[in-house]
Amino acid sequence: DAGITQSPRHKVTETGTPVTLRCHQTENHRYMYWYRQDPGHGLRLIHYSYGVKDTDKGEVSDGYSVSRSKTEDFLLTLESATSSQTSVYFCAIRTFGQGSLFTGYTFGSGTRLTVV
């Protein structure tokens, strides 16, 4: 794998509580992404980061915030979780190989979040 770890792997939380998901990479890649995956909708981009403290919204950003204070960590926060945010969340990084050759996007193992 490209050294990308998500935590926690599973979480059950109550409506209205804050939740933070963590994505950690070990290879110093500049771009990091948060996606959610739901049946019938596929993978949809929530937020992404193009550097430390540089972030931007994706297509489904309402109700989510992100932070990137270090190159290796990208945090996704649900300020007040709702049942509609029950989903599988994937972190991804844009990766480069030898000679700075662009090799694609690599995904973490995912976090299954249930809001009850």
Minimum distance between the CB of residue 17 and another protein, rounded to whole angstroms?
Answer: 25
**74, 87, 90, 113: which one binds another protein (CB under 8 A):** 90
Confirm if 71 and 26 have CB atoms less than 8 A apart. Answer: no
Confirm if 11 and 111 have CB atoms less than 8 A apart. Answer: yes
Minimum distance between the CB of residue 43 and another protein, rounded to whole angstroms?
Answer: 4
> Which 41-80 positions form the footprint of another protein (CB under 8 A)?
41-45, 48, 50, 56, 58-59
| Contact between 102 and another protein per CB under 8 A | yes
**14, 40, 83, 116: which one binds another protein (CB under 8 A):** 40
The string of DSSP codes covering 50-114 is EETTEEEE-TT-TTEEEEEEETTEEEEEESS--GGG-EEEEEEEEEE-GGG-EEEEEE---EEEE
Identity at 67, one-letter amino acid code: S
Which residues of this protein are in contact with another protein, per CB under 8 A? 31, 33, 35, 40-45, 48, 50, 56, 58-59, 90, 92, 94, 102-110
